[in-house]
Amino acid sequence: MASGLIKPREIALDIGGSSLVALEVTGSADRLKLRGCWEWPLSEGLVVDGEIVDADLFARELRAFASQNKLRNRSVQVSVSNQKVIVRNVEMPDMTEDELRGAIEFQAQDYIPIPVEEAVIDFHTVGKRTNAEGVSRQEVLLVAAQRSMISTLHTSIRQAGLRVAGIDVSSMALVRALIPPTPFLAAGADGGVCRGIVDIGSSVSTLVIAVDNVVKFTRVINFSSDRFARVLGEQRSIPASDAHTLAQRIGLIGPMPADSTLYASEVIDNTRQRLGEVASELSEEIRRSLHYYQGQEQAVPLTELILSGRGALVRNLDFHLAEALNMPVTVGNPLLMIAENASDHADVDLALMAPYLAIAVGLVLPEEE
């Protein structure tokens, strides 16, 4: 069950490659109110492949963002998603939490490629079962992150005049934001509903597969939403902002028509061709990851894929992926978790931003216990 109240003074901070997004949410779990939503562009090269590269310059940008929006001295919840974060589902004997912690600390090196002394390790029991021999086993979600990467993140935030309330894994925030809570009466049902989420962010893409609300598989793909705009910018020698507009107003071939009132047919055809090449790269990466997951023992068949992140704004990308992967694909809306908008943004503006607010929304939602 969820813990209930949202701490009123904590801010969710989603750190991307090209921008910062922050949210403030208050209220109870069944009546959440959006108090604030802020966005800030980041200089290129500060965050690369999901990791802060220049800590001092990043801290300056974050300090300016916090000062302008009167967020200095606030506590923030942040998340990480990069190649230095490992998420594993491991099976352990049924034991107490203290015994489990000792066992995981002893066996962690068997599951993670990072030396244990260089890692920050956490775990969470996500389920229990009895095997064919009648022995009780528990499924544990093991998370490990490179200590130096976490330290750089923590230090940068403190230098910006903010306090770190917690650091989460982006895949878990995505599940909270985009997958409906499991009804109590269905909690013991066999199998469960298996959904995938692909968050195409401006730094990396995060693929997570969950059965009901339990993370079963996650992979970080070094593919950013900016790649769509980059190929268009190089093709037409236009600024990144104009290239993003092309991707959103023209996009790929699909049910949503291109904006032919603004663009000539030659521009539409060339844009679709280049975007199609990039989208095919992404679909192939996703296909390989899904094939790997589905080859695992006891893998539950995937029923649908949910898109989020800035890449989800590329017109008809959901249609392209559905065709390429032969499965239903929808664009997620994390704002369905919010009951009331009390921010400075109009509802229509928030609706346009919704796909790339998923991680931030997940960070402010209460965890299931």
The DSSP secondary structure of 6-28, one letter per residue, reads PPTTEEEEEE-SSEEEEEEEEEE
Q: Are residues 211 and 152 in the same domain?
A: no
In this predicted structure, the answer to whether residue 246 has a pLDDT above a threshold of 90 is yes
Which residues, in sequence order, are bridge partners of residue 211? Answer: 194, 214
For the chain, give the percent of residues with pLDDT over 70: 94
Mean per-residue pLDDT, 8-22 = 89
Q: Given this model, what pLDDT does residue 9 score? A: 54
Q: Are residues 327 and 358 in the same domain?
A: no
Give the span between the Cα atoms of 363 and 78, in whole angstroms: 7
Q: Given this model, what pLDDT does residue 1 score? A: 30
Q: Given this model, what pLDDT does residue 190 score? A: 54
> Going by C-beta distance under 8 Å and a sequence separation of 6 or more, which residues neighbour residue 21?
13, 14, 37, 38, 39, 356, 357, 360
Q: What is the CATH number of the domain that holds 197?
A: 3.30.420.40
Structural domain boundaries, residue 157: 1-83+148-188+333-369
Average pLDDT, the chain: 91
Please write the tens of the pLDDT for every residue from 146-196.
Answer: 999 999 999 999 999 999 999 999 999 999 999 987 654 444 445 689 999
Mean per-residue pLDDT, 226-233 = 96
pLDDT grade for 314, boundaries at 50, 70 and 90: very high
Q: Are residues 299 and 204 in the same domain?
A: yes
Q: Are residues 181 and 65 in the same domain?
A: yes
Residue 181 lies in a domain: yes
Please write the tens of the pLDDT for every residue from 33-92.
Answer: 999 999 999 998 999 999 999 999 999 999 999 999 999 999 999 999 999 999 999 988
In this predicted structure, the answer to whether residue 334 has a pLDDT above a threshold of 60 is yes
Mean per-residue pLDDT, 313-320 = 98
In this predicted structure, the answer to whether residue 132 has a pLDDT above a threshold of 80 is no
Give φ, ψ of 306 to 5 degrees.
-110, 130
In this predicted structure, the answer to whether residue 2 has a pLDDT above a threshold of 70 is no
Give the span between the Cα atoms of 163 and 155, in whole angstroms: 10
**Which has more pLDDT, 321 or 299?**
321
**Model-wide pTM > 0.85:** yes
List for the chain the helix, strand, coil content (%; round to 5).
40, 30, 30
- Count the neighbouring beta carbons within 10 Å of the beta carbon of residue 200: 28
Burial, 131: exposed, middle or buried (Cβ in 10 Å; 0-12, 13-18, 19+)? exposed
Q: Are residues 355 and 255 in the same domain?
A: no
Report residue 163 as tokens. Answer: 């306090």
Question: Residue 323, SS3?
Answer: helix
Give the span between the Cα atoms of 65 and 11, in whole angstroms: 13
Q: Are residues 252 and 355 in the same domain?
A: no
Closest-CA residue to 301 (of 267, 337, 328): 328
In this predicted structure, the answer to whether residue 249 has a pLDDT above a threshold of 90 is yes
Beta strands 75-80 and 119-130 are unpaired
Residue 208 lies in a domain: yes
Q: Are residues 72 and 210 in the same domain?
A: no
- Count the neighbouring beta carbons within 10 Å of the beta carbon of residue 80: 23
pLDDT grade for 3, boundaries at 50, 70 and 90: very low
Residue 118 lies in a domain: no
33 within 8 A of 25, measured Cβ to Cβ: yes
Q: Are residues 219 and 307 in the same domain?
A: yes
Give the span between the Cα atoms of 93 and 128, in whole angstroms: 9
Q: Are residues 243 and 353 in the same domain?
A: no
pLDDT grade for 97, boundaries at 50, 70 and 90: confident
Report residue 188 as tokens. Answer: 């013991």
Q: Are residues 256 and 355 in the same domain?
A: no
For the chain, give the percent of residues with pLDDT over 90: 78
Residue 107 lies in a domain: no
Residue 184 lies in a domain: yes
Q: Given this model, what pLDDT does residue 6 score? A: 46
In this predicted structure, the answer to whether residue 32 has a pLDDT above a threshold of 80 is yes
Give the span between the Cα atoms of 210 and 225, in whole angstroms: 23
Q: Given this model, what pLDDT does residue 173 score? A: 96
Residue 128 lies in a domain: no
In this predicted structure, the answer to whether residue 4 has a pLDDT above a threshold of 70 is no
Q: Are residues 314 and 229 in the same domain?
A: yes
Q: Given this model, what pLDDT does residue 367 score? A: 67
Residue 99 lies in a domain: no
Number of domains in the chain: 2
Residue 119 lies in a domain: no
Q: What one-character DSSP code corresponds to residue 324?
A: H
Q: Are residues 53 and 200 in the same domain?
A: no
